[in-house]
Amino acid sequence: MNKASCRQSESFHLLGITEGPRSPSVAEHQKLEQEAMILKQRFVKPLTVALCLTAAAVTSSLAQAATFRVAVGDGAGSAQHALGLKFAEEFKAKTGGKHDTKLFLNGQLGDEQATVNDASMGLLDFSILAINNVTPFSPTVGVLTLPYMMQSLDDAVKLTQGEVGKELTENTIRDAGVRIVGWTYTGFRVLTNSKHPVNSLQDLQDLKIRVPQNEIMIDTYRAWGINPTPMAWSETFTGLQLGVVDGQDNPYLTIYSMKFDEVQKYITDIRYLFSIEPLVVSEAVYQSQPADVQQAILEAGKAATEHSAKWLVEQEDKIKAELTSKGMEITTPADGEKEWMDKAVEQVWPKYYEQLGGKEKLNEILTSLGRDTI
């Protein structure tokens, strides 16, 4: 069909006429073309203008005062909450009070993995969540969940605020559509349960332990001889309360803020995983902001990160004392946790070399921490 015929056919359809066996005359063609043009001017042009005005309004609104939503997985008093409060304070100050944030605690906006998905689609502005819930979307950040990779707060700070952290941020933008702008330091994930003290791996064998839906963490428990139960964070307290699972692991700060002392009795002071909980912003939301707001987000995130490290040091010992006063009993694994560490490193690490960038990449990280290479 030639271009003239295409135009004719378009005109007929605009007028609700389908082509039949008789070909219209030249005069009829011209009349139809004129009437089609009138229809286009009457309906199509106003629609185009309306769409353009709508787009302009959206763009303009980005420069106006806004309140950004921040999803927070944990409750009030948690390290996540402390980071969120500091970020909100700094961001408002750095934008001259023009922009504000609202924190939604206790997973009000969905479980942590769901908030990553929502942020990646631009449906949510910010989320503060455990790094293991970012890993399914951006596998290389799993290096921060390798058992016994980080052995102190200093290790955590070096990795997240150095070249490794910058690379992981770029990977997360690429893979997940979210940008890490802050880091929460929540401390080592210690084991809790409701049945009995755990001093050795043998003591662990009769317990049903909840873990996040994270393969590295699941494999760590398998290396210790049990099959853990993957369970969403939003279901964990109820699962412990009803006896669906006997125990779980999380930092002291989280155990306290989530009131796990109400459903757990025993703590085993293991140090297999230092909990990192990034503050992420939707990359679509970030890129839609003017340069000064983008800079305010980054600066507020940095200030909140520095505050988080200080807050952990100030709060952790107080919270441990508070949990023991509520009746929880704390024990330390025998032999400096050597059996736990040996099994986890030997069985789990090799399985993830390729996913995390290869042995050379891991050796670079270990060297940066002053540790022996593999």
pLDDT at 352: 95
pLDDT at 64: 61
Write the Ramachandran bin of 218: left for phi over 0, alpha for psi from -120 to 50, otherwise beta: alpha
- Given a contact cutoff of 8 angstroms between Cβ atoms, the answer to whether 355 and 362 are in contact is no
pLDDT per residue rounded down to tens, the chain (374 residues): 443 343 333 333 333 333 333 444 444 444 444 444 433 444 433 433 333 333 333 333 344 679 999 999 999 999 999 999 999 999 999 999 999 999 999 999 999 999 999 999 999 999 999 999 999 999 999 999 999 999 999 999 999 999 999 999 999 999 999 999 999 999 999 999 999 999 999 999 999 999 998 899 999 999 999 999 999 988 999 999 999 999 999 999 999 989 999 999 999 999 999 999 999 999 999 999 999 999 999 999 999 999 999 999 999 999 999 999 999 999 999 899 999 999 999 999 999 999 998 999 999 999 999 999 99
Q: C-alpha distances in angstroms, 366 versus 203, 208, 259, 372?
A: 31, 33, 36, 7
Q: C-alpha distances in angstroms, 122 versus 115, 117, 179, 211?
A: 10, 9, 12, 29
Long-range contacts of range 48-57, CB-CB < 8 Å, 24 or more positions apart? none
Residue that has been written with the tokens 């080592």 in this structure:
188
Helices (H) and strands (E) in the chain, counts: 15, 11
| Rounded Cα–Cα distance for residues 304 and 297 (Å) | 10
Q: What single-letter amino acid sits at 20?
A: G
Nearest to 181 by CA among 289, 78, 317, 42: 289
pLDDT at 26: 43
| 358: number of Cβ within 10 Å | 11
Label residue 258 exposed, middle or buried (CB < 10 Å: 0-12, 13-18, 19+).
buried
| Rounded Cα–Cα distance for residues 300 and 95 (Å) | 10
- The tokens of 194 are what? 């409701």
- Given a contact cutoff of 8 angstroms between Cβ atoms, the answer to whether 81 and 264 are in contact is no
